[in-house]
Structure 1
């Protein structure tokens, strides 16, 4: 589960609309929260900590989910960079061999 899906699930479990949750988190409009839940923005740590209070999530649970999510993203980014490098090397090798 992505972090965005996790925070949406926790908001729904708290029986809050996006508008209600946004106000409790200190935002006038729900657009910020919508962007977090859609994965369009990464939530600042301060917001995740506030969500623990508002959604009644144990901080350790949120911490674990945050670490799992960011670790997965870092792994995917590293794999992509490595694969792109391999493709570039293969292409460059073909050029140097006269292909």
Structure 2
């Protein structure tokens, strides 16, 4: 997972622990048979499906708009990083 999207991972872990929930609690409430999904989200290995973010916001006592804003900001930051990398790697190729 990209580095900026780890902001979402950190946010999810922070809000879950503030809500007093274990990864297993969250997995059970979402209907997952294992907490590995939640662990992967919180480590930035994968991210929750969009329809799950609203459920997480409700479980964690977070306004859906706040969850959306964290995701949006992390995504925008990552797009900027990706575009810079592509732009400057193309520039180097053109110079050679």
TM above 0.5: yes
**Count of residue pairs the alignment pairs up:** 91
Shift of 1:42: 2.2
What 5-or-longer segments of structure 1 have no aligned partner? 92-99
* Corresponding position: 1:16 with 2:27: no
Among candidates 78, 85, 90, match of residue 85 of structure 1: 90
Q: Residues of 2 paired with 1:57 and 1:26: CA distance? A: 20
Equivalent residue for 1:29, pick from 24, 29, 34 = 34
- Larger relative contact order, structure 1 or 2 (CA cutoff 8 Å, min sep 6): 2
Alignment of 1:1-99 (within 5 A): 2-91=7-96
State TM-score, norm by structure 2.
0.88
Q: Which secondary structure state, in structure 1, belongs to the residue aligned with residue 45 of structure 2? A: coil
Structure 2 stretches lacking a partner, 5+ long: 1-5
CA distance in 2, matches of 1:27, 1:55: 17
Please, what TM-score do these two structures have when normalized by structure 1? 0.86
